[in-house]
Amino acid sequence: MGCEQTRDLAAELALGITDGEERAHALRHLAECAECRRAVEEYSAVTDELLMLAPAR
């Protein structure tokens, strides 16, 4: 998987909703590409904050 495909998938990776095979391909690319890693991390910051939106009960 290259940069373009990984970027397309970055939001779904951060949401943890990619299927196993897709995820494996993406992780292999991320291991070697700091820029794509940063793209996923930026989206992960969003999912982190979304977790905090659920009201405490």
Partner 1 sequence: MDGLSDETLLAAMGAGDADAAAVFVRRFQSRVYGLALTMLRDRGLAEDVAQETFVRAWRHAATYDARRGRVPTWLLTIARNVALDRARLRRLTPVDPDVVTAELDRAQPDDGLDVADRDRLRGALAELPDDQRRALVLAMYAGRTAREIAELDGVPLGTVKTRIRAAMSKLRTTLGVEHGL
Q: Decide if residue 36 touches partner 1 (CB under 8 A).
A: no
Q: Return the residue of 16, 21, 32, 34 that touches partner 1, per CB under 8 A.
A: 16
Shortest Å distance, C-beta 48 to partner 1 = 5
If you compute the radius of gyration of the chain from its CA atoms, what whole number of angstroms results?
Answer: 12
Tally Cβ neighbours within 10 Å of residue 9: 20
CB-based burial label for 53 (10 Å; 0-12, 13-18, 19+): exposed
Shortest Å distance, C-beta 36 to partner 1 = 14
Residues that bind partner 1 (CB under 8 A): 8, 11-12, 14-19, 42-43, 45-57
